[in-house]
A and B are shown apart, each in its own frame.
Chain A
Amino acid sequence: MKTYNKILQRQFTSHLSRFFSILLIVFVSITFIAGITATSLNMTDSMNTTYEKEHTPDIQLINNEGLSDNQIYDIFTADKDISRTLKVSLYQQKISEKASVRFYIFDFVEFGLSPLSEGQILIDEHYARFKDNQTFLDLQMIYWNLARQIIGGNAFNMSDIELEQYITDNDLSSLLEPLGSKSNYQPVFNVSGTYYNPLYLLKNNLEEMKQENIVCIYYLDIASVNEIVKMLPINELYIYVHTNGNRYSNSYEKTILKIQDKLKILNNNYTVLSLFENETYMVFSKSAKSIGVLGVVFPVIFFLITLFVILSTMGKMVDKERLLIGTLKSLGFSNTRIRNKYILYVSLPSLIGGVSGALVGFRSFPLLIWGAYKGAFNLPDLLYGFYYFIAIAALAGLVVIILLTTLFSVNKILRERPYLMLRPVSPKPGKRIILEKIPWLWKRLKFKTKSMFKNMFRFVKNSLLTIVGLAGATSIMFLAVGLKRSIDLMFHKKNSWFEFNLLGSEGILYGIVLVLILFSVLLCVLVIYSLINALIDEREKEIATLKVLGYTKKEVIGYLYREEAVLASIGIVFGVGLGMLLLKLIVAMMNDNGTPLDFNLHPLVFVFSLALILIFTIISGLLMIKKINKISMANSLKAVE
């Protein structure tokens, strides 16, 4: 038992860098996968909750003349999916040539809010955002007083106050002049709270409102206003529909379209507006969908690359430990115990990396992208969801596959006879590589070049690992850079290669692309680092042997890196091809979801993605030279006694 514990312990201490590279790569991947898939869910969930909480109507019916009770009854009974209706009077009062105030008057209790008492009024949250600003407060003062004039006393008779001349030049002091000192005007209406209207989330909307000269929106409870106000026509009808709570689902869309059609047939002297005509909803829905697309394609690629890297490093480790496995077995350790050693070694970093990655991803990503959204929307606070399903599915998938394949490679060795285990794997005898069959060429090659080609062709599996690894890394790099380019073009920015405009409605996509690029870079670095790390581990003995033979540092590195450089180049070429295919796929998927991206292959897309990959590969290679130089001849070649 004691020896076994020691063996277990040694497993971790002697493969520490591999342990951390597995941990890191799982962490980065799961952070990304959990984060990006959660983001689109989180966005729509937050919006759904807001719509629900703020009692946002599914359909608005607008008729400037006003609707009769009969009409309203017909509308209510038009479809069984209509759950209720709410009568709304919209009244817009021009208070100057360049300023109007809008009032919504409806039954608060029926709507779902607590009733207001007389003299109370709600102000729209979006306008109240500026409430710390003194100018705003002063303007509010004026509006309130105007409101008193309008709705309170002398109903809608503005003639005695000639406002135009004051507000046109927006001069605050002259505005205040006819009202006298501010303190003289105690408003009749008391702003007792705010109402957050999700239909005007887009900052653009607010700008438009301002351009329509709507300087503020108020909400009044019909129960607390005077008779004159009660007489206002019902020019809007809010229609609520039985939903499953998700306004971004296909079934919701179907239900709404069906009801909309029925209402249009019923009568055509009113306008029927649903959320699909609401700009906020649509912009949001589109962005959520494009994130959804990226949230499927990128995680799949990340998942595959991570899986691949771990499988290859674990495979190499197990192969390297053939001898150890053979020794353990001959010492009488059971197969289960030998297997457990590796299972423990690989599941520990996978689980630590995966669980922390899920936590960080769920928390940080939506916040990051929500932050980008806040540039364009007056968003409610983000509701964090911990989407156990995604986390568990991604992590479980990863761990199960890793465990199975690790078991597979351990079992393969365990099934061999012990005496065979104590020998290295033999390559197929006498296999000649293709180049050897062209003697005039082969003879001309230097030994260095010959051994490079031989190594490459003889260990096809190893060569493929490098090729596939680099191809994967290159493809995501290319994809990220290409996507950035496509988005630049969509916003008509031909030459903004290094700009990420995080503000405004562009901010959303740029935010995502920035995250994609950062994570692709991270993943690439880890992939390349792990590959080279595993390569050097695997070939430690060979490196030591070369050193004993008197190979200089340069020659040792040359021997090792020459073939890796050739394989990496092949991988990069394939990676660019794969990246182009993936970019095409993503652009097509985005187009299907209403984001008009172009598939554009500007030469600089190639230049930048290749430059990034080459830089990382070369830096990882250079960093690893230290490790190569540190390999001790005496220790590596020590006889195992």
Chain B
Amino acid sequence: MSRVLIEFRKVRRTFKVGSTNINACNNLSFVINDGEFCLILGPSGSGKTTILNILGGMDSPDDGAVIVNEIDISHFSQKELTNYRRNDIGFVFQFYNLMPNLTALENVELASEVNTNKSLNPSDTLDKVGLKERKNNFPSQLSGGEQQRVAIARAIAKNPDILLCDEPTGALDFESGISVLKLLKDTCKTYHKTLIIVTHNQALKQIADHVITLHNGSVAHQEYIDEPLDIEDIVW
């Protein structure tokens, strides 16, 4: 049994919109083990992005504790959060968020730069995500799937322990989506990284080790899958 890497303990995050309060996370608790592939599933507006933002050190909860590697990050200062993002977190977005004025290779270099002592070689990383031939292309010259691969290479080039992906296939067609998911899963298994993917796509349910289903900012259902499906076998 592997150890607990991440724990959300009664987390609440409230947004004020005008005079109403929206609880994006409410009394939210769950644990994620080290090296696990965890899928957070929920309809739009159920708080998925908020969870990822908190876990990724881009936002802080209003209440509760978020423990990562035995340290509570919920009260981290801006500086500590920066350090945390720098060392522990790789982020993949739905819309890639690459630097439009840097080539694929330079985008990856940008990430490996911040953490030179443990970073991976940018060029090798791009080779591994299958973009050997496209290194000198700009994001706008790449397809969505290819851009997402660059984003993945950028996220893992820092060599973080945790990879967070917010709807990584949301903007992709089926084929590219499948191959991106496969890449994510394989990479994380090879490098022993904890992979957390957030999606509203029910079809992905069977591919992860651990599925957390959200409803209105709280956990509605949890499931551990001993024998996850191969990614090639899913359809949507």
Given A542-B99, A550-B114; A426-B141 close (CB under 8 Å): yes
* A149: interface (CB < 8 Å): no
Distance of A67 from chain B, by nearest CB (Å): 86
Q: Enumerate chain B residues within 8 angstroms of A551, measured Cβ to Cβ.
A: 82, 86, 114
Mask: chain B, 87-124; 1 = CB below 8 Å from A; 0 = not = 10101011101111110001001110111000000000
Contacts of A315-354 to chain B: CB distance below 8 A: none
Which one of A517-525, A616-624, A633-641 is at the B interface? A633-641
* B158: interface (CB < 8 Å): yes
Q: Enumerate chain A residues within 8 angstroms of B113, measured Cβ to Cβ.
A: 447-448
Distance of A257 from chain B, by nearest CB (Å): 66
A430 and B136 form a contact (CB under 8 A)? yes
B170 and A639 form a contact (CB under 8 A)? yes
Mask: chain B, 54-95; 1 = CB below 8 Å from A; 0 = not = 001011000000000000000000010011111101010111
A640 and B95 form a contact (CB under 8 A)? yes
A637 and B99 form a contact (CB under 8 A)? no
B167 and A639 form a contact (CB under 8 A)? yes
CA distance A546 to B114 in the complex (A): 10
* A427: interface (CB < 8 Å): yes
Q: Enumerate chain B residues within 8 angstroms of A426, measured Cβ to Cβ.
A: 100, 138, 140-141
B56 and A454 form a contact (CB under 8 A)? no
Q: Which of B49, B87, B141 contacts A550 (CB 8 A)?
A: B87
Q: Enumerate chain A residues within 8 angstroms of B161, measured Cβ to Cβ.
A: none
* B27: interface (CB < 8 Å): no
Distance of A424 from chain B, by nearest CB (Å): 5
B85 and A639 form a contact (CB under 8 A)? no
A550 and B95 form a contact (CB under 8 A)? no
Q: Which of A458, A550, A552, A639 contacts B89 (CB 8 A)?
A: A550
* A438: interface (CB < 8 Å): no
Q: Which of A541, A639, A640 contacts B166 (CB 8 A)?
A: A639
Q: Which of A423, A459, A550, A641 contacts B83 (CB 8 A)?
A: A550
B140 and A425 form a contact (CB under 8 A)? yes
Mask: chain A, 424-458; 1 = CB below 8 Å from B; 0 = not = 11110110000000000000000110010011001
CA distance A550 to B115 in the complex (A): 9
Q: Enumerate chain B residues within 8 angstroms of A548, measured Cβ to Cβ.
A: 56, 58, 85, 91, 97
A454 and B106 form a contact (CB under 8 A)? yes
Q: Enumerate chain A residues within 8 angstroms of B140, measured Cβ to Cβ.
A: 423-427
Chain A: which residue is nearest B115 at the CB level? A550
Contacts of A550-576 to chain B: CB distance below 8 A: 550-553, 555
Chain A: how many interface residues by the 8 Å CB criterion? 34
Distance of B54 from chain A, by nearest CB (Å): 10
CA distance A223 to B159 in the complex (A): 109
Chain B: which residue is nearest A430 at the CB level? B136
CA distance A451 to B140 in the complex (A): 18
Mask: chain A, 393-416; 1 = CB below 8 Å from B; 0 = not = 000000000000000000000000
Mask: chain B, 138-152; 1 = CB below 8 Å from A; 0 = not = 111100000000000
A550 and B85 form a contact (CB under 8 A)? yes
* A265: interface (CB < 8 Å): no
A545 and B97 form a contact (CB under 8 A)? yes
B110 and A549 form a contact (CB under 8 A)? yes
CA distance A425 to B141 in the complex (A): 10
Chain A: which residue is nearest B52 at the CB level? A634
CA distance A547 to B111 in the complex (A): 11
Distance of B140 from chain A, by nearest CB (Å): 3
A549 and B139 form a contact (CB under 8 A)? no
Q: Which of A448, A553, A555, A637 contacts B97 (CB 8 A)?
A: A637
B139 and A424 form a contact (CB under 8 A)? yes
* B137: interface (CB < 8 Å): yes
B58 and A633 form a contact (CB under 8 A)? yes
Chain A: which residue is nearest B87 at the CB level? A550
Q: Enumerate chain B residues within 8 angstroms of A550, measured Cβ to Cβ.
A: 82-87, 89, 114-115, 158
Q: Enumerate chain A residues within 8 angstroms of B29, measured Cβ to Cβ.
A: none
Mask: chain A, 239-260; 1 = CB below 8 Å from B; 0 = not = 0000000000000000000000
Chain B: which residue is nearest A541 at the CB level? B97
25 contacts between A and B (CB under 8 A): A430-B136, A430-B137, A448-B113, A451-B102, A451-B109, A451-B110, A454-B102, A455-B101, A455-B102, A458-B101, A542-B100, A542-B101, A544-B97, A546-B110, A548-B85, A548-B91, A549-B114, A550-B84, A550-B85, A551-B82, A552-B86, A633-B53, A637-B95, A639-B94, A639-B95
Q: Which 6 A-B pairs have the closest CB atoms?
A: A550-B86, A426-B140, A550-B85, A633-B58, A639-B94, A424-B100
Excluding A447-B110, A542-B101, 8 further A-B contacts by CB distance (< 8 Å) are A429-B141, A542-B100, A550-B84, A552-B82, A634-B58, A634-B59, A639-B49, A639-B95
